[in-house]
Chain A
Amino acid sequence: MFAAVVQKEPDYVLSHCAKYLARDNADERHSFFGSDAGQARARISEPWRFPIVDADDSGATDASEWNHVTFIYRAPDDRPDISVQLLTPCLGLHAPAALNPVDDSLYLALTLRIPKGRRHRYRFIVNGHAQLDPINPQTMTTPQYEIWSSFWTWTYNEPINLERWEMALVRRMTNALLPFQGRETRNLIERGLNDGNVTHFFRMDIPAGVANYIDNILAREERHHLHSYRLCLPMIDRVLRKRHPSVEPVNVSDPDYKALFDDMKNRSPKLIEDGWDPATYDSPGYFLYVLRRHTWTGAFSHPKYGGNPGGLGWAFLGETFRTTADPTKTAFDWTRAVEAPLGKSTEYRG
């Protein structure tokens, strides 16, 4: 089996649920601009937090390879004794497992230990009837066209929403946005200020990680921006193809991407001439900002979000910037604070 049931303290579940799920309002203040309209989750905040995907905190030696995933169902006020089971291939489809009441609350919960980097489907069986998770907005469709709820664990790196060509274009653009590619960086490497191996990896892996991070965040926390990516990526593709007819957009040079970014920033007539349609998306500069923010956040956030593999974004800063008083010392000793095996903190466990 891919998963095992683990016990979590009631406190843990209540503390992860109350803010988001306990409420009276009937209005759809969290409908993600109408994409969840008419559904129960449009009334609750941050439904993307469910199921709760968290670190494996069992203290086991291989814990850093696993996540704890806690499935939640909130019973209706008048039916606290409802029966809910989790049906998921990672437990075996023949073996649904019961979500258990958490203390005397209306929440039912079940926690599974699941390897990182996986995506799975599931359904709830509520009083004998299979249904999708009413909270979590993520779904996936099987080859038999069945719709299931879905979730993924940390560092999952297959596309979720973006198509492969979109991922490739995002990856190329983030590569052109990040500071890891420029002449300055090459000079630094040549001057021997960096560990050559590590810098090699920066260029190899971070943009792919960041594209993956962006795909993830567009599926979950920032679903409201997915539409913008869907609208803008084809136009960027169009502009690049018009400008460089014999080159695939992912092979366009850095200076040409820089020219594109400048045109987006300035909303230049040339951009529109070359295929950006303002009626589809009026503010290319705003999209550039969102992409830059996502890129920066992906490259420098904790590797569990997928965009900073092995802490390479942090290592780049640490390698590149040295203290003036002692150039053998890094000006960003991130490993001190961060948990092992990623970092070297002897106190903090992650």
Chain B
Amino acid sequence: MGTLRDHFDVVVIGSGAGGAPIAYELARESKSVLVLEKGPLLRTQEERGAGRLSDFKRDEMFNAGPERIITTPGMVNTGASFFTSHVEPDLNDEPHVFTNVDRPQDGSKITIEGYTAQVVGGGTQLYGAVSLRFAERDFKLKSANEGRKLQGDPNRDALKHVIDWPFDYDDLEPYYAKAEYLIGLNGTVAGQAKRFSKDSYQTPRPPNPISEFARVGMGKLGLRTYRTPLAVITEDHAPSDRKAGDPKVGYVNRYGDPLGYKSNTWVSLLRPTIREGHDLELRPNCVVTHLEASGRTISKIHYRDASGRPCMVTGKVVVVACSAIESVRLLMLSAEEDRSSFGSLVRYQEDGSLLGRFFLTHAFGGAEVQIKGQRFDKSISLDSDYATDSCASQDFLDAHGLWAGGAIYNNTSDQCLPITMARTEGDTDLDFFWGGFMSAQDHTSEAALQWLSAAFGARLSAAFMANQVPRFENRIELHPDVRDKWNRKCGHIIKNFHPHDEQVMSAFAEVCRQIMAAGVPEYTELGWGSVYGNAVRIANHILGGARFAQTRELGVLNTNCRIWDIDNLYVTDGAFMPTSGGANPTLTIQANAFRVADHLKQI
């Protein structure tokens, strides 16, 4: 191997939703771009060559197979099991610690977030690919709530830290359109409440017939439906030179796609850019350990190579996109390496510093029904078939006294495979691990068959994804004691929901319940709920912690996602979001990254 290049115009750290669009755009502007990615490059079949195999598999054991045990000492869940996929972080090597900000007396635990992946493509390799735009109102939640009185806000402080995004929907709209086109989505515009300048969706495949109950239920409640936009190609996709095939195989959420139909950022953005000969170099298996500043610029990026040896590169522009917790952590670790220089540039641990503050996830939950007397082949599915925006309308919010709305969609592929079905038994969290199965000890032999007979191909769920109230106290810090495999301090998430989040979640869970009750003629079980008060999973989506704002008093980043006092350092993963939006976040992270890339082209 020749000597590695060590200087680039742009260095992007993290190859997922926030990083890849920047690399794509700037390499095509004739910049030299390096992407440093901690995880491996797992290729599709086609990349491996004729007759050869992908490193991703249709194999339930790849998703969450063998049990591992948390060994970090002194945690509430030391000794507990965890089940992660082959490309999620090992929780003993790279844990995140969680403490409930309102109940520190409960102790700390290692979190099992599940909503990230360490692989080229990041979370977009494993994601369900639900790719909704945020509602127009989501960008202006401070202004939209002026003078409104909310339900379930006993201290009248739910809106205290809410800020508007520094731009509105119309400003981001062209980038949504661009992301939809370049990434490769299927779905329908008709039925969506948002304004579209362009319809780039590919035609969705016919829905799984079980989803009809959800569509009917939504319809009976007067909710307008549309086919859920999914980042999966159903037709040949020219921008990424991908051929369509049969993507509806049930191995969807939590699986990397061996055939590359799922539009992860590797197959949709990075791979075509490299294939077309642009100056984009990808270094997988390389973890960035810290950044070094001189004056107001980042002068060096320190990383470990695949063997663990220290290396260094420089870039005129540096983009951090490691997924919010890890990006904030990288900034904090860099600050601890050099408090006087880097530390003061990011205002690390200064009074009033916002670095790490306003960590966000989503208000999330849903309802699940067991349909009586009807069975479907749920394995012929993608993640979702129908969605509705109707619960983001002003009327809905006024009727329920809510600050912000969200999207509701049905899940189609959940519980379609037998191990996942047992693993997620008895819980509204689709990624739940064996807890329900553990307590269903009677499910042996005939009873197991009866359980299967009632549930197999007969379960349908609807999920909601709504804005979570930003709290100043919800934050990411470095944990003083717990270290990763590089002996670096781990991320510490200190967080809880606001009481108004409960109001939001119970209103949405009730709508999901009604959708199921109205849509399904006869059922044997109907459950509904939310993540409120349930600390199994700390974050369903990992957002905030370095929010952008119009002024440095209000945010860590400026409008272009640049750290205010560093001339060449940008953060473009979900960390920038000041509010979490009423939908799954990835398309918005991608659209914003395309927007930032346009800015970077100017400089």
Contacts and interface: CB of A to CB of B under 8 A. Distances in A.
Contacts of B308: 18, 21-24, 106
Contacts of B259: 347-348
Contacts of B50: 59
A217 interface: yes
A74 to B, nearest CB: 7
A184 B453 contact: yes
Contacts of A77: 309
29 contacts: A11-B41, A14-B285, A15-B285, A18-B307, A19-B39, A22-B304, A24-B308, A25-B484, A25-B485, A30-B92, A33-B69, A106-B308, A106-B309, A182-B445, A184-B450, A293-B438, A296-B418, A300-B60, A301-B65, A317-B456, A321-B456, A323-B377, A331-B377, A332-B377, A332-B456, A337-B251, A347-B246, A348-B259, A350-B57
A182 to B, nearest CB: 3
B419 A297 contact: yes
Contacts of A184: 446, 449-450, 453
Given A57-B52, A106-B307, A182-B446, A321 B437 contact: no
Nearest to B51: A59
A300 B66 contact: no
A196 interface: no
A314 B418 contact: yes
Interface in A45-99: 45-46, 55, 57-60, 63, 74, 77
Nearest to A265: B441
B101 interface: no
Interface in A223-273: 224-225, 254, 258, 261, 265
Interface of B: 1, 39-43, 45, 48-55, 57-61, 65-69, 71-72, 90, 92-93, 118, 209, 245-246, 249-251, 258-259, 284-285, 304-309, 373-380, 417-419, 422, 434, 437-438, 441-446, 448-450, 452-453, 456-457, 483-487
Given A177-B448, A297-B61, 6 more contacts: A18-B40, A18-B285, A25-B487, A296-B419, A331-B376, A349-B53
Interface stretch (A116-124, A144-152, A161-169, A284-292): A284-292
Given A324-B373, A331-B456, A336-B249, A285 B418 contact: no
Contact of A185 (B39, B443, B449, B457): B449
A301 B374 contact: no
A183 interface: yes
A302 B251 contact: no
A19 B258 CA distance: 20
Contacts of A321: 375, 452-453, 456-457
Contacts of A39: none
Interface in A156-201: 176-179, 181-185
A332 B379 contact: yes
Contact of B93 (A23, A217, A293): A23
A296 B422 contact: yes
Interface of A: 11-12, 14-25, 29-31, 33, 45-46, 55, 57-60, 63, 74, 77, 103-107, 176-179, 181-185, 217, 221-222, 224-225, 254, 258, 261, 265, 285, 288-289, 292-293, 296-297, 300-302, 304-305, 313-314, 317, 320-325, 329-334, 336-339, 345, 347-350
Going nearest first, the 6 A-B pairs with the smallest beta carbon separation are: A59-B51, A15-B40, A182-B446, A22-B308, A221-B66, A179-B449
Nearest to B95: A29
B93 A105 contact: no
Contact of B58 (A58, A224, A337): A337
Contacts of A332: 377, 379, 456-457
Contacts of B68: 46
A214 to B, nearest CB: 12
A232 to B, nearest CB: 15
B449 A105 contact: no
A336 to B, nearest CB: 6
Contact of B445 (A12, A176, A225, A304): A176
A55 B53 CA distance: 8
Contact of A293 (B309, B434, B445): B434
A12 B47 CA distance: 13
Nearest to A61: B51
Contacts of B306: 14, 17-18, 22, 105, 107
Contact of B40 (A16, A33, A105, A330): A16
A12 B450 CA distance: 44
Given A292-B441, A302-B60, A24 B485 contact: yes
Contacts of A333: 377, 379-380
Nearest to B439: A289
B276 to A, nearest CB: 20
A20 B418 CA distance: 29
A217 B250 CA distance: 26
A178 B448 contact: yes
A290 B268 CA distance: 41
B162 to A, nearest CB: 39
Contacts of A337: 58, 249-251, 379
A103 B483 CA distance: 30
* Most-contacted residue by chain A among B41, B118, B446 (CB, 10 A): B446
Contact of A29 (B59, B93, B457): B93
Contact of B48 (A57, A285, A302, A329): A57
Contacts of B60: 300-302
A323 B45 contact: no
B445 A258 contact: yes
Nearest to A16: B40
Contact of B444 (A11, A57, A258): A258
Contacts of A107: 306-307
Contact of A302 (B59, B245, B441): B59
Contacts of B92: 29-30, 45
Contact of A222 (B66, B118, B375, B417): B66
A348 B487 contact: no
A13 to B, nearest CB: 9
B444 A292 contact: yes
Contacts of B245: 347
Contacts of A338: 58
A324 B522 CA distance: 14
Contact of B51 (A14, A17, A58, A314): A58
B412 to A, nearest CB: 14
Contacts of B54: 349
Contacts of A317: 418, 452, 456
A287 to B, nearest CB: 11
A293 B308 CA distance: 36
Nearest to A322: B375
Given A29-B72, A224-B69, A22 B456 contact: no
B42 A15 contact: yes
Contact of A24 (B66, B69, B444, B487): B487
A261 B65 CA distance: 24
A25 B486 contact: yes
B368 to A, nearest CB: 18
A22 B287 CA distance: 10
Contacts of A181: 445
A331 B375 contact: yes
Given A24-B487, A349-B45, A59 B52 contact: yes
B449 A305 contact: no
Contacts of B304: 22
Contacts of A63: 51
Contact of A177 (B57, B380, B445): B445
B449 A25 contact: no
Nearest to A48: B66
B414 to A, nearest CB: 15
A62 to B, nearest CB: 12
A301 B66 CA distance: 11
A289 B441 contact: yes
Nearest to A285: B441
* Most-contacted residue by chain B among A20, A225, A324 (CB, 10 A): A324
Contact of A179 (B55, B284, B445): B445
B71 A30 contact: yes
